[in-house]
A = this chain, B = another copy of it.
């Protein structure tokens, strides 16, 4: 396959992916091989094998997850809510086409059904085939795929879920509505009376407006709300935030943590809620 897009450029025989989403900063990855390269109805989907991070999912030229560090994000968005809810039977994942979160959720035997709502089937197909370190060639008959719009899907649910995970891409294009107030109201309606939701809420350093919007909505709608953080090396700034809203439960149950995690452990379950001073001050101001 030949590189077609402006963000994938050959230079002296080397292939480089340069993320061009940011105005004042560029991150370039040296690419060993193009594993997958197709245009869907929604976006340009590639899986590129990079030297430093292994195979990575790239949508419209922006790195979404990588074989090297995808486990950090996927464990953090999954195990925290699943360890706060004592009986997580029905789980909804909105986005998450790389299947990393679904894979983590499926580690819990209590989970009986996972509805995965991803707008772009091509992302799922590509990751199942070319991103095993993230998607784990996931085959689990508890997972039901819905290739449709997450905002519309959530708007039609009523008290169906114990846990909802919003694993969205950046708030540009189709993902924009996933950071707006009406969507959070739909999530609240979609949860059972003791349900818990979590969404990725971007960088506390670079996207403080988005974080404020997401966490502000969660704080307003749910009696229990927490912000927690993790380090995601391939996201700008490294520090990443997650906004959690709970209708009832407010305590982690580390005894429920499944074995075999690489990032989350008992220390992280508690430590991740301990926020730097500037972030505590920011969320207190919302």
Contact = CB atoms under 8 A, between A and B. Distances in A.
24 contacts: A22-B52, A23-B51, A24-B29, A24-B50, A24-B52, A25-B27, A25-B29, A25-B52, A26-B28, A52-B206, A72-B276, A205-B233, A231-B238, A232-B238, A233-B236, A233-B237, A233-B238, A235-B238, A237-B238, A262-B277, A264-B276, A267-B275, A267-B280, A268-B276
A270 interface: yes
Contacts of A239: 231, 233, 238
Nearest to A266: B274
Grouping DSSP codes into helix (H, G, I), strand (E, B) and loop, the A interface class, with mixed when no group exceeds half, is: loop
B278 A274 contact: no
Interface in A182-225: 205-206
B24 A26 contact: no
Size category of the A interface is 35 or more
A200 B68 CA distance: 23
Contacts of A51: 23-25
A113 interface: no
Given A25-B52, A270-B274, 9 more contacts: A23-B30, A24-B51, A26-B26, A26-B28, A231-B237, A262-B276, A263-B277, A268-B277, A271-B274
Interface of A: 16, 22-30, 50-52, 68-69, 72, 205-206, 229, 231-233, 235-239, 261-265, 267-268, 270-271, 274-278, 280
Residue among A25, A231, A233, A276 with the most chain B CB within 10 A? A276
A214 to B, nearest CB: 19
Contacts of A30: 23-25
A109 to B, nearest CB: 21
A69 B236 CA distance: 13
A10 to B, nearest CB: 15
A236 to B, nearest CB: 8
A30 B27 CA distance: 12
